[in-house]
Chain A
Amino acid sequence: GAVVSQHPSRVICKSGTSVKIECRSLDFQATTMFWYRQFPKQSLMLMATSNEGSKATYEQGVEKDKFLINHASLTLSTLTVTSAHPEDSSFYICSATGTSGGSSYNEQFFGPGTRLTVL
């Protein structure tokens, strides 16, 4: 299967600061990347979908100016939580699908997640 990495795995920041989370596809070209948010004991909540080189498509209720997504290359997407507040504390997980060696994946592969704590 394809490998997706995320960095950092944990981050603690002060209220009002911005935090950037990186998501990388290690052995395939991620044409589409997804960002999810997950609260304790709850399911995955899709925040946005991004295609390489295009603007991200945000789900209803997700503030695009608050959660900036950049997908500038086929192996890297970033999520920046701007002016973070305690209510932004959560587990953020990226996911990707794409191609490898000319074949397309029909599955989504997930990163290990980033635990954000805003004090």
Chain B
Amino acid sequence: GQQLNQSPQSMFIQEGEDVSMNCTSSSIFNTWLWYKQDPGEGPVLLIALYKAGELTSNGRLTAQFGITRKDSFLNISASIPSDVGIYFCAGRNAGKSTFGDGTTLTVKP
């Protein structure tokens, strides 16, 4: 089946630093989604990408849909303590989503 490789698995950064995480796959996806999950909560959709090459921002977050349609990255600029959580990427085809294993982000004040 389709699999996603999400990296890094975890990140420990200082408040104010920029963060970058990515997902790669051997399969092509038509849609890429990025979610954030706070402890004890369900994932919340951050950014949705629909076209190869698309670059989309949501506040301090920027995500791109790779040209090959096999990868996507998420950047967070000027991190703040409330950015802590687990970030999941998801590739979507024909109504089915494949999720990465998540990137756990810790931000030190």
Contacts and interface: CB of A to CB of B under 8 A. Distances in A.
Interface string A1-29: 10010100000000000000000000000
Contacts, number: 49
8 cross-chain pairs, A with B, having the tightest CB-CB distances, nearest first: A110-B42, A43-B101, A113-B42, A112-B42, A110-B43, A93-B42, A107-B48, A111-B42
Interface in B12-33: 31, 33
Given A41-B104, A44-B88, A115-B40, A109 B45 contact: yes
A93 B99 CA distance: 14
B40 A107 contact: no
Contacts of A70: none
B70 interface: no
Contacts of A44: 43, 88, 99
Give chain B's interface secondary structure class: strand
21 contacts: A1-B45, A4-B42, A41-B104, A42-B101, A43-B99, A43-B101, A44-B43, A49-B96, A93-B43, A95-B42, A97-B95, A106-B48, A107-B45, A108-B33, A108-B90, A108-B92, A108-B97, A109-B45, A111-B42, A112-B41, A113-B40
Interface of A: 1, 4, 6, 32, 34, 41-44, 46, 49, 91, 93, 95, 97, 106-113, 115
The bracket for how many chain B residues form the interface is 20 to 34
Nearest to A9: B40
